[in-house]
Amino acid sequence: MKALITGGAGFIGSHLAERLLELNYEVFVIDNLWTGNLTNLEKIQDNKRMHLVIDTILNESVMCELISKADHIFHLAAAVGVRKIMDHPVETLDINVKGTEAVLRLANRLKKKVLIASTSEVYGRHMEHSLSEDDNRVMGSVKKRRWAYACSKTLDEFLALAYFEEKKLPVVIARLFNTVGPRQTGEYGMVLPNFVQSALLGKPITVFGDGTQSRSFIHVKDVVEAMARLMVEPKAEGDIFNVGNHHEITIKDLAFKVKEMTGSNSEIDHIPYEKAYGPGFEDMERRCPDTEKIENLIGFQPAYHLEAMIQSVIDYFKE
């Protein structure tokens, strides 16, 4: 079996490449290194079944060649991270929408199965209950740049389902909740690596807002296991699945837990969102998944609890 991973030098993509090699796939990776990094692939760079192409997914001739070689396409390439989205809204929309359209169009031409990595951000400002796949979306104003990413990924989902229904292209959509683990960088606003790095360096741990906003974190190894299993499950085709963890924690409590687990003397500072990201920012107060659907279909249960996730990030930065 052969797989193509777009964005395969990124945080999640590199872990997926490792897992697919363990499952005896031949793996092709394409990444433009905008947010990906070649160091993420160091463990597998000499594997004879791993092939790397440094290019954009908008290069149609390259993508056509790669897709023709693959049986399965895992589409992860996207502009990610709150800071990246706030600073580069045009590139966010361009890559996330045009890139996905190109992948689906070429996959349909060659009739190759696609898994689209989507995001819990598509749910928007929901906060009253755990989020299930059929819930309505609650978006903020178009004048708030924060929602550009959510809207771009929503369109990706619409495109994927349209190709499934109209063109009979086999597609699966995985809505990933807050994914953490080794190799995740805090450069683009990812909360856990930022907390851990600050704690280890004795710098203030910065919490945006009052810290009462809550998230549910899932380890990257659990995420890639879920994606690999969804890809080979025929009953998953044409459907959407939350990939996340039930455990919910406020950002303020996460900061204290990181401080405790690192043995840090760091202060915990609160700063307004506007100071961190400028005008045009809104946050989601709560983001917790209902995972009954994926549990019922493939029996998926996350293996990592929160403390193990945090420890894996601490160990990574200590190394």
Q: 148: pLDDT confidence band, cut at 50, 70 and 90?
A: confident
Which of the residue ranges 22-36, 166-180, 185-199, 229-243 would you say has the lowest mean pLDDT? 185-199
pLDDT at 146 over 90: no
Bigger pLDDT: 190 or 102?
102
| Average pLDDT estimate for 1-15 | 97
What is the pLDDT at residue 185? 85
What is the pLDDT at residue 149? 82
Q: Which residues contact 297 (CB under 8 A, 6 or more apart)?
A: 233, 235, 236, 241
- Dig out the tokens for 283 from the structure: 């946050």
What is the pLDDT at residue 278? 65
Bigger pLDDT: 86 or 290?
290
Bigger pLDDT: 163 or 287?
163
What is the pLDDT at residue 162? 98
Burial environment of residue 303 by CB neighbours within 10 A (0 to 12, 13 to 18, 19 or more): exposed
Tokens 């994606």 -> residue = 227
- Reported as half-sphere exposure (CB side, CA atoms, 13 A), residue 159 has a value of 23
| Average pLDDT estimate for 282-297 | 90
Beta bridge partners of 118: 175
Tell me: the pLDDT tens digits for 66-102?
999 999 999 999 877 666 666 777 777 778 889 999 9
CA proximity to 243, closest of 183, 172, 308: 172
Tokens 């929408």 -> residue = 97
Dihedral over alpha carbons 76, 289, 171, 58 (to 10 degrees): -20
Residue positions counted in the chain: 319
Tokens 């998926």 -> residue = 300
What is the pLDDT at residue 283? 72
Tokens 């590139």 -> residue = 91
What is the pLDDT at residue 30? 98
- Give the strand pairing for 50-54 and 72-75: unpaired
* Distance in Å from the first CA to the final CA of the chain: 34
CATH of domain 2-180+218-246+288-303: 3.40.50.720
CA proximity to 66, closest of 18, 17, 2: 2
- Dig out the tokens for 44 from the structure: 């597998």
User: Active-site residue 316, yes or no?
Assistant: no
What is the pLDDT at residue 84? 64
Region of 285 please: left (phi>0), alpha (psi -120 to 50) or beta. alpha
Q: 7: pLDDT confidence band, cut at 50, 70 and 90?
A: very high
- Percentage of the chain exceeding pLDDT 70: 92
| Average pLDDT estimate for 121-139 | 85
Measured distance CA(186)–CA(313) in Å, rounded: 11
Model pTM?
Answer: 0.94
Catalytic residue among 123, 149, 188, 277: 149
Q: Is the dihedral of CA 151, 156, 161, 163 positive or negative?
A: positive
Measured distance CA(23)–CA(149) in Å, rounded: 32
pLDDT at 186 over 80: no
| Average pLDDT estimate for 201-214 | 93
Tell me: the pLDDT tens digits for 23-72?
999 999 999 998 899 999 999 999 999 999 999 999 999 999 999 999 99
- Give the strand pairing for 205-208 and 218-219: unpaired
What is the pLDDT at residue 89? 73
**Domain range annotation of the chain:** 2-180+218-246+288-303
Q: 105: pLDDT confidence band, cut at 50, 70 and 90?
A: very high
Beta bridge partners of 155: none
